[in-house]
């Protein structure tokens, strides 16, 4: 079997954050952390990039609003123009309400699908599930995974470094 990496379990979020920072200082870059709740500063310690999801949500909202406004404009001016009570065909105030609602729908859909895409979901299998210690049934621990694909990775050296940093258990993860 091929080795995917090494996973270490930590007792609390502060120890995990310190371990991630120490491993990054030692030159490790291909790491991931798992936690039962958000740990402030962990994403920065892992070197994760800022998300572009807000731009996707803004674009989805703008596209939804413009698309629906254009559809309404086409339907009342070109497809089926009806003069009702001397009103102009392009009566924009009622169009804005529906376009606003469509903008909200477009933003929500863009946020939902953008989040799925950014997180690589749906992902039904990950090699970390092969680790016996990676379970929340025994209580929520905080895990650090160092991938074997990292250039600084050396099996014995990496295990000793994680143990010195306060890991309760260190285990190999098969691919």
* CA–CA dist 29, 146 (Å, integer): 8
- Coil, helix or strand at residue 4: strand
* CA–CA dist 104, 96 (Å, integer): 12
Run of H or E including 32: strand 31-34
Look at residue 142 in the predicted model and tell me its pLDDT.
Answer: 94
* CA–CA dist 8, 1 (Å, integer): 20
Q: Classify burial at 18, counting beta carbons within 10 Å of its beta carbon; exposed 0-12, middle 13-18, buried 19 or more.
A: middle
Residue 137 has phi, psi (to 5 degrees) of: -70, -30
- Coil, helix or strand at residue 119: coil
- Coil, helix or strand at residue 123: coil
User: Is pLDDT larger for residue 109 or for residue 82?
Assistant: 109
- pTM, whole model, 2 decimals? 0.77
What average pLDDT does the segment 108-134 reach? 92
* CA–CA dist 96, 99 (Å, integer): 5
Reply yes or no on whether the pLDDT at 90 is more than 80: yes
pLDDT (tens digit per residue) in 20-46:
999 999 999 999 999 989 999 999 999
Reply yes or no on whether the pLDDT at 62 is more than 70: yes
Cβ contacts of residue 73 below 8 Å, gap of 6+? 90, 95
Q: What is the mean pLDDT of the chain?
A: 92
Q: Classify burial at 81, counting beta carbons within 10 Å of its beta carbon; exposed 0-12, middle 13-18, buried 19 or more.
A: exposed
- Is the torsion defined by CA of 149, 154, 157, 160 positive or negative? positive
């Amino acid at each position: 079997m091929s080795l995917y990496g090494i996973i270490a379990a930590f007792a609390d979020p502060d120890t995990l954050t310190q371990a991630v920072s120490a491993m990054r200082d030692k030159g490790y870059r291909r790491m991931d952390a798992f936690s039962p709740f958000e740990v402030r500063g962990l994403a920065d310690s892992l070197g994760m990039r800022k998300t572009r999801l807000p731009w996707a949500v803004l674009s989805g909202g703008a596209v939804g609003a413009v698309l629906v406004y254009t559809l309404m404009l086409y339907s009342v001016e070109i497809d089926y123009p009806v003069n009702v009570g001397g009103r102009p065909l392009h009566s924009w105030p009622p169009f804005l309400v529906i376009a606003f609602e469509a903008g909200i729908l477009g933003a929500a859909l863009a946020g939902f699908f953008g989040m799925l895409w950014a997180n690589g979901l749906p992902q039904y299998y990950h090699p970390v599930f092969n680790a016996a210690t990676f379970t929340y049934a025994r209580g929520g621990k905080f895990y650090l995974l160092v991938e074997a694909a990292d250039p600084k990775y050396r099996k014995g050296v990496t295990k000793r470094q994680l143990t010195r940093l306060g890991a309760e258990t260190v285990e190999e993860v098969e691919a």
